[in-house]
Amino acid sequence: MAHQPKIFTASIRDVVFGENVKLVEPCNLYECTIGNNCFIGPFVEIQKDVVVGDNSRIQSHSFICELVTIGNNCFIGHGVMFINDLFSNGGPAGGDKSLWKQTKIGNHVSIGSNATILPVEICDHVVIGAGAVVTKSITKPGIYAGNPAKFIREIK
């Protein structure tokens, strides 16, 4: 016997928007805060309690999970994935949010397309190269790339 799936629709609900925000649908945003003058591209999901600072851009197909804070004047490239679950018990934490970790992105941070950001802190004035995997906090401004992401050089 065939069963019918429960179908959910992408939506924008319970979001606090600043002034002059531009958003391209379809996207899925809920219970988050988006600052002034931000751009959110299509096929983006931003989960609850995420804060995106003023003048930041989130390009298409990016996923920003709970416990992420993005500073002002940031650029998040296409297909960037933020992770809050490190599978510390050998698999997904599921509903046990006590196992999730937070991520804090500073101001003037650019993250290249298809980068993966694990639960870390990234200081101000950092560029993350496309495809990089950030596994450790970054405390020195500069350019980082690779898997795992490593310091390449200072920004000139």
Whole-number pLDDT of residue 55: 98
Q: Are 98 and 79 in contact (CB under 8 A)?
A: no
The catalytic residues are: 78
**Could you tell me how far CA 78 lies from the centroid of its own chain?**
11
Whole-number pLDDT of residue 1: 84
Mean pLDDT of 13-29: 97
Domain total in the chain: 1
Q: Is residue 66 one of the residues assigned to a domain?
A: yes
Domain assignment of residue 31, given as a range: 12-87+95-153
Whole-number pLDDT of residue 12: 96
Q: Is residue 5 one of the residues assigned to a domain?
A: no
The one-character DSSP state at 37 is: T
Whole-number pLDDT of residue 106: 98
Mean pLDDT of 134-138: 98
* Cα 41 to Cα 34: distance, rounded to the nearest angstrom: 13
Q: Is residue 1 one of the residues assigned to a domain?
A: no
Q: What is the CATH number of the domain that holds 124?
A: 2.160.10.10
Q: Which residues of 84-113 are buried (b: 16+ CB within 10 A; e: fewer)?
A: bbeeeeeeebeeeeeebeebbbbbbbbbbb
Whole-number pLDDT of residue 97: 87
Decide if pLDDT at 38 tops 90.
Answer: yes
Parallel, antiparallel, or unpaired: how do β-strands 150-153 and 142-145 relate? Answer: antiparallel
Whole-number pLDDT of residue 29: 98
